[in-house]
Structure 1
């Protein structure tokens, strides 16, 4: 018959039964738990190997651990690659930038790009089309500024708390160093997030389109592109040290490619379809014609 009055500790609370076996206790005594992030990550790798957790779970848990040491400066989009809007630009020019870049939020500057005066949501720009008498300044949301040293854990907490999805990053001298979004932070945990403007990559890195052209991922190895189109791209560019077609084309163009620009190399026309984080995500590739040139 069980004891109706379980043993209690000196604090008056019932003692919890230790269900660990002697061998488990001995193993934990000999091999205590991880005492550093590196050991914790190694423990997660062992847990995946032993099928305690799945690969996706391990990657996310590692992302959470590594993110603890990361700052806004580690993840931000550099100022030179920021897509900003000029408060004094005409409506058609603003609309052109919004459509070309396909972002949902834009820093707005006045005079020079260092002078960020607010954030414009792309959807708010539609209000000007229906009511041209509106002042664009009235549509701006307050800009949030954070230092480069801001920890990603703290930044994510603030993003969630104040419902902001974008912050302007400031360097130690008070200059604009770049911008960071909640998506940039979350991608450190879950990997790259595809948004409604991203093209789903479900057909491989090179595949044919209905108009007899090809869509090519920017991170496709140069050798694979050369083999697929029977060309020599490295020889045509004069360089031998580029691994991806995106890196090769960017070097050949001499700047970070933007959506809509194109470049002719080895008889092929590379049209930039989509960019993200300063890199080309997708090219549209077709045979170059006499009308094609490299003026972009």
Structure 2
């Protein structure tokens, strides 16, 4: 015999299904019904066989997955690790070792001209079998090219259908906006996935002393301005991160120990970087004291 709670849950699900079928706008959607049930379970005492908090969060993520677009979840253009089509095979091997990724985009004249991608499996096979063709044309594979407005669910479906795990996100003018892997999509559901090659990273932003902050180069400019100093912004609209701001000001990749001054008087000091990007910076206030 069904209990009262079973009847309530069943009626909620039925109202959601009825809305989807008949378009009754006066009733909440099935999505709303499921989220309501999750909300009600948040403060309840856990029961055997019930959803764990992590499972409930994954379910929430699934419910809102289609609200996210490729542009929302992509690795920003400034952080894309790529190689030129003219790179030698030995340098390509070194690039994979440095990047720690299984796939690297290949560009022609600039990153706006992505002509393909290289998979580390193909590089490994060519390195082992000396009879294989090591030319870039023989190693190139085709990535997906998707608009930044494409929904994450549609992107996942296309990746599965075409069996391609890397997509180049392009803007309305055809320029490269960012890069998305299938891991990025899965992380939108299950949370961050770290493997044995992922390095432990420091906090995105931390205050060390009065007027001295340390930050990850991927820190969003908006968060930097709202937390540290409203003057720490960029004059260029296409700069979204602290690392991008430092690169724009210096005109080069700041190596550890190098610094550059912002118009506000803040000094941005690189404390970690590699040959391709700035990784972490220390911010020094104009007068060495905390800002209002």
Structure of greater Rg? 1
Query: Which residue does 2:59 correspond to in 1?
Result: 61
Per-residue deviation, 1:63: 0.8
Change (3 A) 1:33 1:117: same
Normalising by structure 1, what TM-score? 0.62
Residue 28 (structure 2) pairs with residue 46 (structure 1)? no
Residue 215 (structure 2) pairs with residue 233 (structure 1)? no
Extract unaligned runs of 5+ from structure 2.
Answer: 17-27, 215-224, 230-239, 260-266, 283-292
Q: Which runs of 4+ in 1 moved over 6 A?
A: 26-32
Maintained 8 Å contact 2:78/2:244: no
Maintained 8 Å contact 2:112/2:174: no
Task: Give runs of aligned pairs for residues 154-169 of structure 1, distance below 5 A.
Answer: 154-169=154-169
Maintained 8 Å contact 2:247/2:253: no
Question: Which of 83, 88, 91 in structure 2 is aligned with 1:90?
Answer: 88
Measured in 2, the distance between the counterparts of 1:112 and 1:69 equals 31
Q: Secondary structure at the match of 2:178?
A: strand
Maintained 8 Å contact 1:45/1:58: no
Maintained 8 Å contact 1:218/1:279: no
Measured in 1, the distance between the counterparts of 2:65 and 2:179 equals 18
Query: Which residue does 1:242 correspond to in 2?
Result: 228
Query: Which residue does 1:3 correspond to in 2?
Result: none
Change (3 A) 1:59 1:261: farther
Change (3 A) 1:233 1:190: same
Per-residue deviation, 1:24: 6.0
Query: Which residue does 2:263 correspond to in 1?
Result: none
Residue 222 (structure 2) pairs with residue 221 (structure 1)? no
Change (3 A) 1:57 1:254: same
Maintained 8 Å contact 1:128/1:136: no
Per-residue deviation, 1:162: 2.8
Maintained 8 Å contact 2:272/2:278: no
Task: Give runs of aligned pairs for residues 131-146 of structure 1, distance below 5 A.
Answer: 131=130, 134-146=134-146
Change (3 A) 1:260 1:46: farther
Kindly report the root-mean-square deviation, in angstroms, between the aligned alpha carbons of the 2 structures: 4.2
Query: Which residue does 1:20 correspond to in 2?
Result: 2
Extract unaligned runs of 5+ from structure 1.
Answer: 1-18, 202-215, 286-296
Deviation track 1:16-67 (CA, whole Å, cap 9, x = no partner) reads xxx3356865797799856244554342122232224211011100110110
Per-residue deviation, 1:241: 3.8
Per-residue deviation, 1:89: 2.0
Question: Which of 57, 75, 78 in structure 2 is aligned with 1:77?
Answer: 75
Normalising by structure 2, what TM-score? 0.63
Q: Which moved more, 1:82-91 or 1:55-64?
A: 82-91
Maintained 8 Å contact 1:48/1:54: no
Measured in 2, the distance between the counterparts of 1:249 and 1:78 equals 12
